[in-house]
Amino acid sequence: MAYWLFKTEPQAFSIDDLANCPDQTDCWDGIRNYQARNFMRDSIKLGDKVFIYHSSCDKVGIVGLAEVVKEGYHDHTQFDPDAKYYDPKSKPEAPRWFMVDVKFVKKFENMLPLTDIKAIPEITELPLVKKGGRLSVMPVIEKEWDILMARLL
């Protein structure tokens, strides 16, 4: 099992939106960065744990927990001209973009703000705290996952 952090803008799709989906499960679509795509396609596996992180809002930070329930598959929005994430260069016979399905596990009673995460001296490998760590999908090493979970529970 591996650990991940997925960023989302809560006005577009929040932890509450995931909790309110049928079966509390939805696809994680719209990834349009090649490094994040490669994680979705090649590395994220069934049963992996995911921090849900709200970004581009007043209170940025880890707000919840999800689990991967379907491994990487073609992101259907890349082929739909009416979709927000349409990619005219992507073809069904050679798709560029992938997604996974995640299931809601928990909304934390108190979010863990980015400022608090950055203040934890043991958190050094998480791309979120490194310069240029702007990916929307990023790995979390087990040691740092455990440290963050201890702060959240």
Amino acid identity for residue 3 in this structure: Y
Please check the confidence at residue 145 and state whether its pLDDT lies above 80: yes
Dihedral class, residue 106 (left if φ above 0, else alpha if ψ from -120 to 50, else beta): beta
Query: Residue type for 99, please?
Result: M
Sheet holding 3-8, edge to edge: 25-28, 98-113, 61-74, 49-54, 3-8, 137-140
The model's pLDDT over 10-44, given as tens digits with 9 standing for 90+, comes to 999 999 999 999 999 999 999 999 999 999 999 99
Q: Mean of the per-residue pLDDT values for the chain?
A: 96
Indicate whether 70 pLDDT > 80.
yes
pLDDT in tens, 78-114: 999 999 999 999 999 999 999 999 999 999 999 999 9
The confidence score (pLDDT) of residue 134 equals: 82
Instruction: Say what the pLDDT of residue 71 is.
Output: 98
Q: What is the pLDDT of residue 66?
A: 98
Residue type, 22: P
Q: Helix-strand-coil percent breakdown of the chain, rounded to 5? A: 25, 35, 40
**Each residue's pLDDT tens digit, 114-134:** 999 999 999 999 999 988 778
pLDDT score for 72: 97
CATH placement of domain 3-152: 3.10.590.10
> What span, in angstroms and rounded, lies between the C-alpha atoms of 66 and 24?
10
pLDDT at 74: 96
C-alpha span between 16 and 147 (Å, rounded) = 24
